[in-house]
Structure 1
Amino acid sequence: MTRTTTQDTRKWQPPRVSQVKSNMGRPRKRNVVIDGESHSQKEEKPPVVVRKEKEKKKEKTNVSKIFINISIGLCIFSLVWFFYALYMRSAMARRAVTRHPSPRVLDANSTTAAVSPERFWGSYRPHVYFGMKTRSPRSVVTGLMWMRQFSPKGVELRHTCEQGDKLHSYGWLMHDGINFGMQQIKDSDFTLTTTFVKRLGGEHGGDWTWRIIGKERSSGPNAPVISLMFYVAADTQGSLQAHIENKTRLSHVTGTSEELGEFKITFSKPTGGAASPNKYASYNYLQTQSPGLNQLTDIVKNSLSYRFVFSPSTDQRRPYIAVDTYTPPPQNDNRIQSDFVVHQVTVQVPFQIEVLFESGSFHDRPNQLKGSVLTEELTRLKLSYNEKFEETFSLQAKGFTPDQVRFGKAALSNMLGGMGYFFGQSVVQSNYHDYPIFYPEGALFTAVPSRSFFPRGFLWDEGFHQLLISKWDPQLTREAVAHWLDLMNVEGWIPREQILGDEALSKVPSEFVVQHTENANPPTFFLVLEKILEQLDKPTNAPQLQDALPFLRRLYPRLQTWFDWYNTTQAGPLPNSYRWRGRDKDTNRFLNPKTLTSGLDDYPRASHPSEDERHVDLHCWMVLVSRILTSIARLLGEPHQEYEHTYQTLSNNSLLSELHWSEQLHAFCDYGNHTQAVSLQQEKVFVPPRPMRQQLPVKRLVRSVRKAPKLQYVNALGYVSLFPFLLQVLTPDSQKLEYILKDIRDPARLWTPYGLRSLSRSDPMYMKRNTEHDAPYWRGAIWININYLAVRALHHYSRKQGPYQEKAADLYQELRTNVINNIYKQYQETGYIWEQYSDSTGRGKGSHPFTGWSALIVLIMAEEY
């Protein structure tokens, strides 16, 4: 039988809507063809198992849809969050280089000749042996270079202060910070005395005159022949015109600039003194262009020629070295070339030369500031300086010898002569930048720690500097503090090391150029503000109140932000604890990773940096900050409760002991992940077999850890342990004070005949190198800033009723005498004040001259704390 299937050949028509609707309520039927016959069969419900499977599939579909929707939502949320994070990162990155929004403490024109004519010109180039400029971003600069002729050592050009020049000594003998300065420079076999005197007049800061005197240091058959090179550089502002006579002698330079108007610089002929008005000299000059002030030395060196003859008499003809011609190399960076003019005079000592700067706007000049007129003005200014020095510091009245008084004057004068005016941009790195970027351009008027080694601004150093300067000239201090605080960003951060301009940058190793926005520095400016507040409390200082109150009011918003920044960025792991950021992370390289941000560099901290650290010195700095902010807020009539509450909390001696007192050492200590079982060992390196050996690997000293670190007190006894005492946080009746005074006086710990050493002799880190090439720094040497704080604290506790008052008084007299005698002795023997002093011999060490905080010896002598 053949099985066939019938088909309806009619064209299919869709059912009418009414039919569809009528069928919706009835069970569906299906047609089944069996043996050629069509049968209508009622559709039966599927079995229960099939229904459950369908329901499961439906549930799975619904769950899938939910997951898809959730995934889409998460994707949208992630994208929104991603773009929000990008926006916030960008916003935070911008904040790192956004200046503080409050009005500047100093108006933008505060240093101009119109507003501050008496301070417009000055010796604001501390990195050169002698030079002057104005307090303006692009100043016309003047300076002096020199070299000895006919030297077997060849060309030894002196210009920027260099320890490698090995001068016997150099430094200011007198400098009043405004009107005049006198400096003595002892070279190999001759001495130069450089003097400047200013005179106000006109609209552009007035006139000034230099006098350079050369003398032989020791008698010999032939007096030295010296080439002096006086120069003027425009530094992109204005133009210079050289005026030549007799083909080789530069008689004067005329110029013009936006800030100076028209001016004239005249070079007088050298004389041999009153008895010898005429002096033979050879003359040369150089007129060229310079791409930057940092290249002036190289330009002069590259222009030198041996083709000239020095002939003081017919029978003496000797070839000498002089500036000749110079062709600037092609510039690839399109930097503006500035006029640069050099006047060279070659003369045999003794001699005297004067250089006059005269402002074109000084129309009613009574006479030229030269010769006898200059001598009379200089005599008057010296007398005024001596009177003010004694009135301010009373060293003669305290029984110091004339030589000791001259030493005190030199220390102060070098501090004032080390004031510099800088302009440029810092290079900064924040957590929101992938690479360093430029900070906004800014100006800084500041003292520098060392003219040779640190000729730039350092945040924590400047607070100590201004303690001395404020005693001499409060207005000068207000300007310096304002310049620093005007560099604050919107977060409250201040770059701790200021490297502004090409000249400053040329003196800094590359690894120290970038400033990190999470890194702090001790807020020593609050020591200065404390002195300002104390001066305002004296009834005799009523006139200063009129100047100080507006200054504090403008400063106050920035001090508030600075305080908040410390409290947030430098907070420690426990409430009311603090931790320095910026510790070295390379635990393999350093015996103890450094903490440059604390100012104490390689002082022993926890051996393994971690977020669990608590630093006692920073805690004490915050006690000081909160106390001074409370006083300032009250003085200004501002809400002070927050600062007073912080002060009351942090200054609580029980809290301080809970966080930092080590019962094992009986001293205040840091806390962190620490072990003392560390040492520097030769690195073990793989040496390949001889056939494969091409070059032996370099062996280094690396740290060996013999015992695993653990969270504990860092039992290092030294300067950090003294901070509760140094900043006078301890109450006069605290038993902890007794332990500190014992440690101070113990020769096996901190006491020496020359001052307090920075780390106990019994400490494992005492005088240990931190790396193969990194000598100990704060591991035993005597530092004058901390000794000043120690003498100051002993003076404080000797005047407070308590069980240790008498002991503090005895230690005060003894320590003060030791520090004064040693620094004075070293100055007499070496000609310098030093960065640090040996705890075993008292000899000066480190950079020199270091007339930054080491000049605090004047305040110690004067007993001004």
Structure 2
Amino acid sequence: MVRHRKGGKEQHKNGNNETSSSSGSSDSSVGNKSFKLLSLWKTMLGFVCLGIAVYVGTLGYLETRVNTPFDDEKVVQNSGLSIPERYWGTYRPGVYLGLKSREPRSPVFGLMWYDLASAAQKGIRHWCDQGDNLPTYGWLWHDGVSFGEQRISDPPHNIITSFVKTPGGEHGGHWTARINVTSKINTSTPFALIWYAALDESLGGAALHSRLWLDGDSLLGHTPHLHNFKINLLPHSGKLLHMSHSEAHAPGLHLLKEKLYSLLREHKLSGPHGRVPALGQDEDLTGQEKEVNFVPIQLLVQPPFVLDVVYSTEDLPTPPLKGDEYTTVLENKKKDFDEEFEKKFKLAEKGYKQEDIAIAKAAMSNMIGGIGYFYGAGRVQSQYTREPVPYWRAPLYTAVPSRSFFPRGFLWDEGFHGLLIGRWSPDIQMDIVAHWLDLINVEGWIPREQILGSEALARVPKEFVVQSNAAANPPMLLITLAQFVNKNRELFEPHAPYRSMLDRMFSRLQAWYQWFQNTQKGEEPTSYRWRGREDDGLQLNPKTLSSGIDDYPRASHPSNIERHVDLRCWMYAAADAMATIADVLQRDTSKFEALRDQLGDEELLNELHWSPRTQTYADYGMHTDGVKLVRQAPKNPSEQAKLVRSVTTPPHPRLVTSAFGYVSLFPMLLKVLRPESDNLGKILANLDNPDLLWSPYGLRSLSKSSPLYMKRNTEHDPPYWRGQVWLNVNYLALAGLRHYARRAGPHAAAAAALHDRLRDNLVGNVLSEYKRTGYLWEQYSGEDGKGSGCKPFSGWTALFVLIMEGEY
């Protein structure tokens, strides 16, 4: 066909030369145009394809950033057996007594117990649980390194648990745990103690190299790091009625108690006790390819009874402590602790009573004894990921706010914890900061809540598991580190102990600091806005979880125009902290000082946040006070009526002056204001007003005059930061008052007087409530001083020790 068409063309061209010539020119022109159009179309298609490829590639790149580690040298260089003095510890703060090593694949050991007389009502004690309603429990002594002693009251029994470590060898040394059970009543009813060892099933194949088994009454084990080890249970005094044990397979560390229940069988005990529960065979191991990863040993005892649990390794010839020798060593360690505590905090020298000093020692011990070692991967999400994705697996060495309610790591809480931990042990404090900074991602973001491992995950409501990379948390950890560095400069000089660690921290601190600047700025110059506020129509005032003060009233209708005064002050303090650390490391401080000075400009601050009408600092946004919760009729009979927010007055852009409280104080709390500032004088005057924030128990979080004072936020959310007294912000208030009391200015005398009165109110109430209830509390009532929220809360509430000392 081609040839035929070509021949036709030739005949046509020969028949009429002119026409042939003209026709050829026309065809050429059309062909050129078609070629150009085709080329243009192909080029455009190529650009479109390239654009799609770039978009898809960029999107894929952005998707991975949220769980990509920061690309620099790790801060933590040594851990595990390379720090033998802290290798073993009570690093499972969520259980009443649990030991493990600072190793991701460590075996875990722990205690359970139950009273046969009331087993059906009480159940088995294992996890620290507010529902157990124990009159008190917690560490009375704990040095964070070598020993601790804890008291647990579970009427009619008292249980004293303690541990002492014997260092040495290449595999972590020995340790002994003692359980001392007494009863307030004379009873012959058996009391059940269960000591167990377990392996973490969630670690998968790596755990296959670890084993647990029984040899007679000894519990034996082997791991790649520990090699061979042995656990012996040695009664020290009292009557042992019966012992039983089992080799079992548990589906996870979070289900050990449930697994134990399944192992209990009836056993006929000779004498008056009749049938009692004993551990039997695990049916899950019969005919199934499952390995033993849980070995419990139960002792039925008659109180008073003392049990020594002795852990030993093959490579350390020194015999482990037990019996009377253990008693002597423990008492000596408690004596040394008492001397060291007085040397550091000088409370006896300041005139405090011994019973009050004992509470302070318990508070500090609970802070140190509440340090855990976690390993795992959290769940995170960014705007570029369709679903939550796992963070990388990592270890975290951190204190926890509450063993019963929050046995995991919280970013801004850890900043407050470090104020006390750093005073007790610089080694522990620097190690904790290092672990937190190694969790920073390539964006410079640190997830604010760390839920690592199956035990931690099992205790978190589903809606709080996933962490968004848009959400910040106050940079208190940075501020505390800078304060620690500034007070201990000799430790950070060239060739000093922590200089190289601080050097490794600096790039990560810069990235974190810059992340705030990139992601949390507001629409107006020098303004900042917390991200993550969502209006679901159910909240009286949408929460601001990222700020740390969750339900504190902000603008009623979240929007991009918001300006948050507390975040602006945090960024002032963060810039000052970075300048301090850079100065110690002899780095350039100019950019940090420039932002600090800009954010410290009182005229700029006043333009954004000062209300001339109310003479207070406030947030700004779309706001109305005309909101209330109303019962909404269900759409169909099968649904329940629920409370929803009703807006009676439309919002408009304004300062949120009706919410006078902690947020209003931040320019004073973080020392942004000049000592001679008129506005500082107005803040101090407002502080000293019992109708606003002042109470005999500390500063309330929200003024009694606020429309949302002590109001529920939803049907199920009681007030949280809406009037209660919180120790962390009161600590900042005392630090601010001390700062202004020592600066020449017209408000120095007023600041000093307020400081002393506030200190006495706080310390007096915390001590009084501990004596009345046996606990430190998450918060305290501004009306009667009673503890509320969760207990024990040995996180920032333990800062009252520093308040007693006068250290800020």
TM superposition score normalised by structure 1: 0.88
Separation (CA, whole Å) in 2 of partners of 1:485 and 1:25: 80
Query: Which residue of the partner structure matches residue 724 of structure 1?
Result: 667
1:68: how far off?
8.7
**In the alignment, is the contact (CA less than 8 A) between 1:270 and 1:281 conserved in 2?**
no
Query: Which residue of the partner structure matches residue 49 of structure 2?
Result: 79
SS at match of 2:51: helix
Greater shift, 282-291 or 145-154, is seen at: 145-154
Which of 532, 546, 570 in structure 1 is aligned with 2:496?
546
1:772 and 2:715 aligned: yes
SS at match of 2:592: helix
What does the per-residue CA deviation read over 1:37-69, in whole Å, with 9 as the maximum and x for residues that have no partner? Answer: xxxxxxxxxxxxxxxxxxxxxx99999999998
Separation (CA, whole Å) in 1 of partners of 2:74 and 2:361: 34
Query: Which residue of the partner structure matches residue 666 of structure 1?
Result: 615
1:618 and 2:586 aligned: no
Would the alpha carbon gap of residues 542 and 491 (structure 1) be closer, same or farther in structure 2, given more than 3 Å must change? closer
Would the alpha carbon gap of residues 16 and 435 (structure 1) be closer, same or farther in structure 2, given more than 3 Å must change? closer
1:323: how far off?
2.1
Query: Which residue of the partner structure matches residue 317 of structure 1?
Result: 273
Greater shift, 448-457 or 149-158, is seen at: 149-158
- In structure 2, give the amino acid aligned to 1:763: S
Separation (CA, whole Å) in 2 of partners of 1:133 and 1:13: 93
SS at match of 2:273: strand
**In the alignment, is the contact (CA less than 8 A) between 1:261 and 1:361 conserved in 2?**
no
Query: Which residue of the partner structure matches residue 629 of structure 2?
Result: 680
**In the alignment, is the contact (CA less than 8 A) between 1:519 and 1:581 conserved in 2?**
yes
Would the alpha carbon gap of residues 437 and 13 (structure 1) be closer, same or farther in structure 2, given more than 3 Å must change? closer
Query: Which residue of the partner structure matches residue 298 of structure 2?
Result: 344
SS at match of 1:532: helix
What does the per-residue CA deviation read over 1:742-794, in whole Å, with 9 as the maximum and x for residues that have no partner? Answer: 11111110000000000000000111111111101000011110011111111
Separation (CA, whole Å) in 1 of partners of 2:287 and 2:410: 33
Would the alpha carbon gap of residues 837 and 234 (structure 1) be closer, same or farther in structure 2, given more than 3 Å must change? same
- In structure 1, give the amino acid aligned to 2:140: L
SS at match of 2:613: coil
**In the alignment, is the contact (CA less than 8 A) between 1:292 and 1:338 conserved in 2?**
no
**In the alignment, is the contact (CA less than 8 A) between 1:216 and 1:223 conserved in 2?**
no
Separation (CA, whole Å) in 2 of partners of 1:346 and 1:67: 92
Separation (CA, whole Å) in 1 of partners of 2:10 and 2:230: 109
Query: Which residue of the partner structure matches residue 238 of structure 1?
Result: 210
Would the alpha carbon gap of residues 322 and 22 (structure 1) be closer, same or farther in structure 2, given more than 3 Å must change? closer
1:111 and 2:79 aligned: yes
Would the alpha carbon gap of residues 18 and 772 (structure 1) be closer, same or farther in structure 2, given more than 3 Å must change? closer
- In structure 2, give the amino acid aligned to 1:253: L
1:584: how far off?
2.2
Question: Larger % of helix: which?
Answer: 2
Query: Which residue of the partner structure matches residue 591 of structure 2?
Result: 642
Separation (CA, whole Å) in 1 of partners of 2:639 and 2:340: 64
Would the alpha carbon gap of residues 20 and 670 (structure 1) be closer, same or farther in structure 2, given more than 3 Å must change? same
Would the alpha carbon gap of residues 281 and 672 (structure 1) be closer, same or farther in structure 2, given more than 3 Å must change? same
Would the alpha carbon gap of residues 16 and 735 (structure 1) be closer, same or farther in structure 2, given more than 3 Å must change? closer
- In structure 2, give the amino acid aligned to 1:271: S
**In the alignment, is the contact (CA less than 8 A) between 1:216 and 1:224 conserved in 2?**
no
**In the alignment, is the contact (CA less than 8 A) between 1:578 and 1:615 conserved in 2?**
yes
Would the alpha carbon gap of residues 543 and 619 (structure 1) be closer, same or farther in structure 2, given more than 3 Å must change? closer
1:71: how far off?
6.8
Which of 494, 516, 521 in structure 1 is aligned with 2:446?
494
- In structure 2, give the amino acid aligned to 1:82: I
1:416 and 2:376 aligned: no
What does the per-residue CA deviation read over 1:530-587, in whole Å, with 9 as the maximum and x for residues that have no partner? Answer: 22222234x7x6899812322211100001111110000111111111111111231x
Query: Which residue of the partner structure matches residue 547 of structure 2?
Result: 598
1:298 and 2:266 aligned: no
1:326 and 2:286 aligned: no
Separation (CA, whole Å) in 2 of partners of 1:136 and 1:506: 21
1:706 and 2:648 aligned: yes
SS at match of 1:421: strand
Q: Kindly, what percent of the aligned residue pairs are identical?
A: 43
Would the alpha carbon gap of residues 792 and 255 (structure 1) be closer, same or farther in structure 2, given more than 3 Å must change? same
Instruction: Point out the structure with max Rg over C-alpha.
Output: 1
- In structure 1, give the amino acid aligned to 2:229: F
Separation (CA, whole Å) in 2 of partners of 1:407 and 1:748: 32
- In structure 1, give the amino acid aligned to 2:469: T
1:459: how far off?
0.5
- In structure 1, give the amino acid aligned to 2:267: R
Which of 775, 781, 794 in structure 1 is aligned with 2:737?
794
Within 5 Å, give how 1:688-703 maps onto structure 2.
Answer: 695-703=637-645
- In structure 2, give the amino acid aligned to 1:554: R
1:201: how far off?
1.3
Separation (CA, whole Å) in 2 of partners of 1:737 and 1:62: 80
1:759 and 2:711 aligned: no
Separation (CA, whole Å) in 1 of partners of 2:512 and 2:348: 41
Query: Which residue of the partner structure matches residue 225 of structure 1?
Result: 190
Structure 1: which 5+ runs fail to align?
Answer: 1-11, 27-58, 245-249, 273-278, 688-694
Greater shift, 92-101 or 368-377, is seen at: 368-377
Query: Which residue of the partner structure matches residue 369 of structure 1?
Result: 321
1:339: how far off?
2.3
**In the alignment, is the contact (CA less than 8 A) between 2:140 and 2:151 conserved in 1?**
yes
Within 5 Å, give how 1:136-535 maps onto structure 2.
Answer: 136-151=103-118, 153-154=120-121, 156-217=123-184, 219-220=185-186, 222=187, 225-235=190-200, 236=207, 238-244=210-216, 250=217, 252-272=218-238, 279-309=239-269, 311=270, 314=271, 316-328=272-284, 337-363=291-317, 365=318, 367-535=319-487
Would the alpha carbon gap of residues 863 and 18 (structure 1) be closer, same or farther in structure 2, given more than 3 Å must change? same
**In the alignment, is the contact (CA less than 8 A) between 1:150 and 1:320 conserved in 2?**
no
**In the alignment, is the contact (CA less than 8 A) between 2:66 and 2:442 conserved in 1?**
yes
Would the alpha carbon gap of residues 303 and 544 (structure 1) be closer, same or farther in structure 2, given more than 3 Å must change? farther
**In the alignment, is the contact (CA less than 8 A) between 2:249 and 2:285 conserved in 1?**
no
1:92: how far off?
1.1
Would the alpha carbon gap of residues 660 and 67 (structure 1) be closer, same or farther in structure 2, given more than 3 Å must change? farther
**In the alignment, is the contact (CA less than 8 A) between 2:189 and 2:273 conserved in 1?**
no
**In the alignment, is the contact (CA less than 8 A) between 2:482 and 2:581 conserved in 1?**
no
Separation (CA, whole Å) in 2 of partners of 1:353 and 1:488: 44
**In the alignment, is the contact (CA less than 8 A) between 1:748 and 1:760 conserved in 2?**
yes
**In the alignment, is the contact (CA less than 8 A) between 2:69 and 2:441 conserved in 1?**
yes
**In the alignment, is the contact (CA less than 8 A) between 2:478 and 2:509 conserved in 1?**
no
Query: Which residue of the partner structure matches residue 575 of structure 1?
Result: 525
SS at match of 2:125: coil
Separation (CA, whole Å) in 2 of partners of 1:330 and 1:743: 71
Separation (CA, whole Å) in 2 of partners of 1:506 and 1:710: 43
SS at match of 1:290: coil
Query: Which residue of the partner structure matches residue 555 of structure 1?
Result: 505
Separation (CA, whole Å) in 1 of partners of 2:652 and 2:287: 57
**In the alignment, is the contact (CA less than 8 A) between 2:164 and 2:177 conserved in 1?**
yes
TM superposition score normalised by structure 2: 0.94
1:152: how far off?
6.8
SS at match of 1:628: helix
**In the alignment, is the contact (CA less than 8 A) between 1:718 and 1:759 conserved in 2?**
yes
SS at match of 2:720: coil
Separation (CA, whole Å) in 2 of partners of 1:744 and 1:189: 46
Separation (CA, whole Å) in 2 of partners of 1:72 and 1:606: 53
1:98: how far off?
0.8
1:303: how far off?
1.3
Separation (CA, whole Å) in 2 of partners of 1:132 and 1:451: 14
1:191: how far off?
0.2
Structure 2: which 5+ runs fail to align?
Answer: 1-7, 23-28, 201-206
SS at match of 2:298: strand
1:641: how far off?
1.5
